[in-house]
Amino acid sequence: MDIDRRRLFAALAAAASAAGAAGAATPALARHAYGSGPDRPGKAANAIGKAPRSAIDAGSLGLRPNSADDQSTTFQRAIAYAAAARAVLHVTPGSYRAGALRLPPFAAIAGVAGATRIVMSGGPSMLAASGGDHISLSGLVLDGGGVPLPPRRGLLHLSQGRAVRIADCEIANAGGNGVALEGIEGEVTGNTIAAADAAIFSLDARGLKIAGNTVRSAGNGGILVWRSEPGDDGTLVVDNRIEDIANKSGGSGEYGNAINIFRADNVIVRGNRIRNAAFSAVRGNTASNLQIVGNTCTGLGEVALYAEFGFEGALIADNIVDRAALGVSVTNFNKGGRLAVVHGNLIRNLVDRRPPGTDPNDPAGVGIGVEADTVVTGNVVENAPNVGIAAGWGPYLRDVVITSNVIRDADYGIAVSVAPGAGSAVIADNLIAGTRRGAIVGMEWRKPVTGDLAEEGAGRYAQLSIAGNRVR
Domain with residue 22: its CATH number is 2.160.20.10
What pLDDT does residue 15 have?
37
CA distance 216 to 199: 8
Pairing of strands 447-452, 431-444: antiparallel
DSSP letter (8 states) at residue 214? E
Q: What is the pLDDT of residue 51?
A: 60
For the chain, how long is the longest CA-to-CA vector? 92
Q: What is the pLDDT of residue 457?
A: 66
pTM of the model: 0.89
Amino acid 460: pLDDT: 80
404 Rama sector, left if φ>0, alpha if ψ -120 to 50, beta otherwise: left
Give the chain's residues under pLDDT 50. Answer: 1-49
Q: CA angle, 395 as apex, 389 and 398 as ends, to 5°?
A: 65
Q: Residue 303 in contact with residue 280, Cβ under 8 Å?
A: yes
Q: Is residue 367 part of a domain?
A: no
Q: For residue 92, is it within any domain?
A: yes
Residue 431: which of 467, 391, 404, 458 has the closest Cα? 404
* DSSP 8-state class, residue 351: -
109 contacts 89 by C-beta, under 8 angstroms: yes
The amino acid that residue 165 corresponds to is R
Does any domain span residue 312?
A: no
Query: Cα separations (Å) of 370 from 63, 387, 423?
Result: 58, 12, 13
Task: Note the pLDDT of residue 444.
Answer: 97
Instruction: Check: CB of residue 327 under 8 Å from CB of residue 314.
Output: no
Tell me, yes or no, whether 211 lies in a domain: yes
How far is residue 415's CA from residue 128's CA, in Å, rounded to a whole number? 52
The SS3 call for residue 42 is coil
Contact (CB, 8 A) for 251 and 274: no
C-alpha R_g of the chain: 27
> Does some domain include residue 287?
no
Residue 83 lies in a domain: yes
User: 133 lies in which domain range?
Assistant: 1-218
Termini Cα distance of the chain: 82
Nearest 5 degrees, angle CA 368-CA 395-CA 408? 25
- For residue 127, the cross-strand partners are 101, 156
357 inside domain: no
Number of domains in the chain: 1
6: phi then psi, degrees, rounded to nearest 5: -60, -45
**pLDDT computed for residue 378 by the predictor:** 98
pLDDT of amino acid 459: 75
In whole angstroms, what is the distance from residue 422 CA to residue 171 CA? 50
Whether residue 464 is contained in a domain is answered as no
Contacts of 461 (CB under 8 A, 6+ apart): 418, 442, 453
pLDDT at site 226: 98
| Rounded CA separation 259/330 (Å) | 16
How do strand 192-195 and strand 207-211 relate by DSSP bridges? unpaired
What pLDDT shows up at residue 132?
95
